[in-house]
A = this chain, B = another copy of it.
Amino acid sequence: MILALDFGGTKHTAGVILPGGQAWLKHEQVLSPSNPDAAYDLETMIQLGRRLLEGPKPQAVGVSFGGPVDALSGTVRLSHHVPGWEGIRLASLLEGAFGAPVSVDNDANVAALGEQRFGAGQGLSSIFYITISTGVGGGWILDGCVWRGWDGMAGEIGHTTIDPDGPLCLCGKRGCVERLASGPYMAQDARQRLQADPACGAIMRRLCGGDLDAIDGALVSRAATQGDELASELLQRSAWAIGTGIGNAANLINPQRFILGGGVTKSGDIWWETVRQVAMETALPEVRIEIVPAALGDDAPLWGAVALVMDIDRS
Contact = CB atoms under 8 A, between A and B. Distances in A.
Interface stretch (A80-88, A152-160, A202-210): A152-160
Contacts of A269: none
A150 B142 CA distance: 10
A212 interface: no
Nearest to A156: B251
A251 B282 contact: no
Interface stretch (A49-57, A186-194, A217-225, A241-249): A241-249
A298 interface: no
**Majority secondary structure of chain A interface residues (helix, strand, loop or mixed):** loop
Interface string A255-288: 1100000000000000000000000011010111
Interface in A113-167: 126, 138, 140, 142-143, 147-157, 159-165
Given A163-B163, A164-B162, A151 B248 contact: no
Contacts of A288: 150-151
Given A173-B281, A247-B161, A248-B248, A126 B155 contact: no
A254 interface: yes
B286 A251 contact: no
A112 to B, nearest CB: 13
Contact of A254 (B153, B173, B256): B153
Given A248-B248, A253-B253, A287 B153 contact: yes
Nearest to A163: B164
B155 A252 contact: yes
A299 B162 CA distance: 34
A68 interface: yes
Contacts of A156: 251-252, 254, 284, 287
A171 interface: yes
Contact of A165 (B149, B154, B165, B256): B165
A157 B287 contact: no
A151 B126 CA distance: 12
Nearest to A254: B149
State the 7 A-B residue pairs at the shortest beta-carbon distance, nearest first.
A149-B254, A160-B248, A156-B251, A154-B254, A153-B254, A150-B256, A153-B287
Given A149-B253, A159-B251, A173-B281, 8 more contacts: A138-B252, A143-B143, A149-B287, A150-B288, A153-B251, A153-B286, A161-B244, A164-B244
12 contacts: A147-B253, A150-B254, A150-B256, A150-B288, A153-B286, A155-B252, A156-B287, A159-B251, A160-B248, A160-B251, A171-B284, A172-B281
Interface of A: 68, 77, 126, 138, 140, 142-143, 147-157, 159-165, 171-173, 244, 247-249, 251-256, 281-282, 284, 286-288
